[in-house]
């Protein structure tokens, strides 16, 4: 089978990630792939923020603070979990949609384009031998987190792509039957 097709058909998220993460020229290649996301009217309605090293712990404090805002009665275990969440991978990429006014391109299309960019990051990382997983959660959609990351009023988080090297074996992929998802009209 065509190698590229096989690659696309077997992409596999990795919940457990460790060092190394892509950096330097390799990370640049990954972002170049993201910049080829389908994009109506070429609005380029996305940008990407990396969070690595010590900054992950600082970002964990932002997530903890956000949880306190959302759930003032959150217990110590929940707060610790939020604080440690960014430490689950050596590199996080916050995928941001920067919504633009356009007569033919509504916000939904721009969000979808940013989602495609996130997928491209996962694919490109895997193509380079790394692994990743797209994560969100309530904090991703909370303005306090967006403010801490420096997002403008017209910007939103689409999610976080956690990147690194796969820890453990890849999971077995389910064999889905295209017939259950495809019909002709």
Ligand X SMILES: Cc1cc2nc3c(=O)[nH]c(=O)nc-3n(C[C@H](O)[C@H](O)[C@H](O)COP(=O)(O)O)c2cc1C
Q: Give 99 or 160: the residue with its C-beta nearer to ligand X.
A: 160
Burial of 82 (0-12, 13-18, 19+ CB in 10 A): buried
Cα–Cα distance, 53 to 121 (Å, whole number): 19
* Long-range contacts, stretch 29-32, CB < 8 angstroms, 24+ apart: 29/124, 29/128, 30/121, 30/124, 30/125, 30/128, 30/163, 31/121, 32/124
Least distance CB 122 / ligand X (angstroms): 8
**Residue 13 binds to ligand X (criterion: CB under 6 A):** yes
**Residue 159 binds to ligand X (criterion: CB under 6 A):** yes
Cα–Cα distance, 89 to 73 (Å, whole number): 28
Q: Give 15 or 52: the residue with its C-beta nearer to ligand X.
A: 15
Q: For residue 14, which of 90, 77, 83 has the smallest C-alpha distance?
A: 90
Q: Which stretch binds ligand X (CB under 6 A): 49-57, 62-70, 92-100, 132-140?
A: 132-140
Q: Give 28 or 171: the residue with its C-beta nearer to ligand X.
A: 171
Q: Give 83 or 135: the residue with its C-beta nearer to ligand X.
A: 135
Applying CB under 6 A, among 92, 133, 145, 157 the residue interacting with ligand X is: 133
Q: Which stretch binds ligand X (CB under 6 A): 20-28, 53-61, 83-91, 135-143?
A: 135-143
Q: Which residues of the shown chain bind ligand X in the complex (CB under 6 A)?
A: 12-13, 133-137, 159
């Amino acid at each position: 089978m065509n190698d590229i097709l096989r690659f696309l058909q077997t992409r596999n998220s990795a919940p457990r990630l460790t060092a190394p993460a892509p950096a330097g020229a390799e990370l640049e290649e990954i972002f170049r792939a993201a910049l080829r996301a389908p994009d109506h009217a070429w609005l380029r309605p996305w940008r990407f923020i990396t969070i690595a090293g010590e900054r992950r712990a600082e970002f964990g404090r932002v997530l903890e603070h956000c949880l306190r805002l959302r759930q003032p009665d959150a217990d110590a275990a929940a707060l610790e979990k939020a604080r440690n969440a960014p430490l689950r991978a050596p590199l996080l990429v916050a995928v941001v949609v920067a919504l633009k006014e356009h007569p033919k391109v509504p916000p939904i299309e721009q969000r979808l384009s940013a989602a495609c960019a996130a997928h491209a990051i996962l694919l490109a990382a895997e193509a380079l031998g790394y692994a990743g997983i797209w994560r969100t959660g309530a904090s991703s959609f909370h303005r306090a987190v967006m403010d801490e990351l420096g997002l403008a009023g017209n910007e939103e988080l689409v999610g976080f792509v956690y990147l690194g090297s796969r820890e453990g074996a890849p999971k077995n992929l389910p064999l889905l039957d295209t017939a259950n998802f495809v019909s002709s009209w």
